[in-house]
Amino acid sequence: MTDTLTLTRPDDWHLHFRDGAMLEETVPATARVFRRAIVMPNLTPPVTTVALAEAYRERILAAIPAGVDFEPLMVLYLTDETPVEEIERAAQSPFVHAFKLYPAGATTNSDSGVTNPARIHHLYEALEKHDLPFLVHGEVTEPEIDIFDRERVFIDRYLNDIRERFPALRIVFEHVTTSEGVDFVREGGDLTAATVTPQHLLMNRNDLLVGGVRPHNYCLPVLKRRTHQQAIQQAVLEGHPRFFLGTDSAPHARDKKEAACGCAGCYSARAALPLYASFLDRHGALDKLEGFASHFGADFYRLPRNPDTVNLERRDWAVPETVTAAGEDMVPFMAGQALPWAIRESQ
């Protein structure tokens, strides 16, 4: 039995740091394990320009602990009014690495998002021309569409057409949640990939609803039925090179989650790598961890794999019941749960 693992230092290809005082918790929690992270731009107001991304990046850099080597990879937020010139500026920037489509109203701070993805083909064309990855929250938002069907409908209504019309566009299906999403990536060719979160890998909608509503497991896209979870698990277990680690770690204060209208998001940054390791270990597939966590995302983004390493060891530890951020209590994902793998602190 393997008791230690040494991996190429991993990256997190989908992450929410938030802003302000929250950065004092979220940035160190990620930087102590991950070398780079794709930083989502859904602040208030959103990060829509290179200038705003540069300012946000400086705030993140200021929160990195001394002596820790970490690079935030910035993303710009697409809107109906995004000018093609901003995509051109982003292509010249050394720190902007992608653009993100949020359908308006789909998730936290998405009100400024795209109202009709079929009407911004000129922006997809510019992204394709400049070889900037297109990151997509793949859900429709019409109230008459069942929340469990919104990913499938988005694929049918928009994403298949985008893939066909822009064959050289790199697409990342963020936080994939359905078998239809998995199939879209599998069938989409070398320029189509997906990020996989701990919650969608480890849970299904029973974990949200059975025995009462569990607000700390509530995320968007919402957890789906077990058959969809199994499709995601199979892609990871087989080591498919276009499915890679993206935690979607998203901090919210406890009182904002345990509320009449609880916030969507799971804060997993502190425990993410041990969670993925524990899942793969249970299925006899620890050999798939390094590709999933450390290689596949870097290769897709056409960035060098990290030169340093991270060490894990087989020992029992428990995810904290709470953490404090910006002066408020947060309940992390899998709070209080015992895990068999931990980061080796002495590295």
List residues forming the annotated binding site for substrate.
16-18, 42, 137, 220, 252, 264
Binding-site positions: 14, 16-18, 42, 100, 137, 175, 220, 248, 252, 264
Written as six digits, the tokens of 275 are: 């969670």
20 CB neighbour count, 10 Å cutoff: 9
Which residues does the annotation mark as catalytic? 248
The arrangement of strands across the sheet holding 96-101 comes to: 12-15, 36-39, 71-77, 96-101, 134-136, 171-173, 192-196, 243-245
How far is the CA of 67 from the CAs of 28, 50, 62, 70, in angstroms?
11, 27, 12, 9
> Which of 267, 265, 272, 264 is CA-nearest to residue 333?
267
Residue 106 DSSP SS3: coil
DSSP conformation class of 138: -
- Report which residue type is found at 45: P
Name the DSSP class of 179: H
Contact 42/24 with Cβ under 8 angstroms? Answer: no
**297 pairs with which residues across the strands?**
none
Torsions phi, psi for 229 (to 5 deg)? -60, -45
> Residue length, the chain?
347
Query: What does R_g of the chain's alpha carbons equal in angstroms?
Result: 19
178, 224 contact by CB (below 8 A)? yes
Q: Which residues are annotated as a binding site for Zn(2+)?
A: 14, 16, 100, 137, 175, 248
Q: For residue 172, give the 3-state DSSP assignment.
A: strand
- Residue 200 near residue 245, CB atoms below 8 Å: no
